[in-house]
Amino acid sequence: MTEWRKRCLGEITSFMSKGIPPKYVERENENTVRVLNQKCNRNFEINYEESRLHDCSKKKVPADKMLQPGDVLINSTGTGTAGRVAQLYDVPTPTTIDGHMILLRPTEEIDSIYYGYAVKAFQPKIETLAEGSTGQTEINRKRLQEEIVISFPEEKETQERIARFLLNIDEKIKVNGKINKNLEQQAEALFKAWFLDYIPWNGSVPDSWIDGKLGDFADIKRGGSPRPIQKYLSDSGLRWLKISDVTSLQTPFVIDIKDHIIEDGLKKTVFLKEGSLILSNSATPGIPKILDVDSCIHDGWLYFPKSKFSREYLYLYFKYIRQHLVNLSNGSVFNNLKTDILKNYPTILPDKETLHRFDAIVYPMFLEMQNRTRESHKLAAMRDALLPKLMSGELDVSDIDL
């Protein structure tokens, strides 16, 4: 039987600090380093696309605040994101963090990857350590060190086995994400070649294609919201898709919807079956997604009950014209993409044979992306279910082949 120890997080943490107040610049040079912020912290991993550049010639970065493989990062502030945990397994370029994140490094007593997963297991608890007024909350680092109690096997070999098991799950999820990104890029490149550059037709629009507006070729409808929405929200029932569910989603398919509404709200909203294409029209407008589960959509979404285009074609089309749509949207607080803007958007309808040939190529790509999204969702659910049990000693790992 493996012996387990318990330590307060502060006892097994050799270094804990907030990040720097950056001096941002736009261009990379010999004096710049990458700076991660809370937007970079997504679903247990770091996305460098949201990072920015800091000029070290204006403000030096302490050596201990330059990130290393194995470092654990926690969002210290951010509405809905304070307490979110991620771990760095590699650092591809010199990188630090800003003051909205906390950096943690373990002592020699505990394997660094195990340490990261142990902290992740306490994310719900860590989120409750945010203190302050509404919109200005921040994780209390003293409470973080004292109230988070980590369990770990005494033998480092067992720690490493548990960590490797969990890491293998996350690596598979990452591989699926990379394959999906590559497939989507291939589909986008084909769409551009055929319907923007007209390469198969020597750079010219074929005479048989019809010039019109999107509303001529597709029905464009808007979702609906029962109000006040607080009366209809529930822990279970009909899924209720929010735009925040998809803003950081790196796949065309929506499978994880957090909120629900009661059936009484069905009269004032729109219920869509899985496979439906949707497009955000407010807050963060112009995001196309395909539902992989049944869901209700509020009036911040548009949907397309009938169309001469396939959902895959429309998805790629909306990705191409998104910036144009954002520029046309308006709103005093949030951008709002009015239905009429989309209905009147200039659009060309290719002939049926061309559309059929295109769909025959891209449909298998989208099907593969859908299958890999589903697999990753199941893997993440398995990881999240096993994580607290593996990190607490509830599962006896001595007889398990990890």
18 and 125: one domain? yes
114 and 230 fall within a common domain: no
Q: CA-CA distance, 138 to 136, in Å (whole number)?
A: 7
pLDDT digits (tens, 9 = 90+) for 350-400: 999 999 999 999 999 999 999 999 999 999 999 999 999 998 888 876 666
**pLDDT of residue 331 exceeding 60:** no
Question: Hey, what are 400's tokens?
Answer: 């398990």
What average pLDDT score do residues 287-305 get?
A: 97
**Looking at residue 325, what is its pLDDT?**
87
Regarding whether 216 and 325 lie in a shared domain, the answer is yes
* 257 touches 239 (CB < 8 A): yes
Inter-residue contact 351 to 308 (CB < 8 Å): no
Claim to verify: residue 149 and residue 217 sit in the same structural domain: no
Q: Give the burial string for 197-207 (b: 16+ CB within 10 Å, else e).
A: ebeeeeeeeee
Give Cβ neighbours of residue 163 (< 8 Å, ≥ 6 apart). 111, 113, 114, 116, 117
- In this structure, the dihedral spanned by the alpha carbons of residues 376, 377, 383 and 386, taken in order and rounded to 10 degrees, is -140
Tokens of 87: 């771990």
What is the residue whose two structure tokens read 């009909």?
238
Residue range 14-49, pLDDT digits in tens? 999 999 999 999 999 999 999 999 889 876 788 888
Query: What is the residue range of 125's domain?
Result: 4-153
Among candidate residues 11, 237, 226, the one with its CA nearest the CA of residue 104: 11
List phi, psi (to 5°) of 260.
-140, 160
pTM, rounded to two decimals: 0.87
Asked if pLDDT for residue 52 goes beyond 70, the answer is yes
Total domains present in the chain:
2
Confidence label for 345 from pLDDT (cuts 50, 70 and 90)? very high
Q: Which tens digits make up the pLDDT trace of 185-210?
A: 999 999 999 999 999 999 999 999 99
Q: What is the CATH number for 225?
A: 3.90.220.20
**149 and 228 housed in the same domain:** no
pLDDT of residue 318: 97
pLDDT (tens digit per residue) in 66-117: 999 999 999 998 777 889 999 999 998 999 999 999 999 999 999 999 999 9
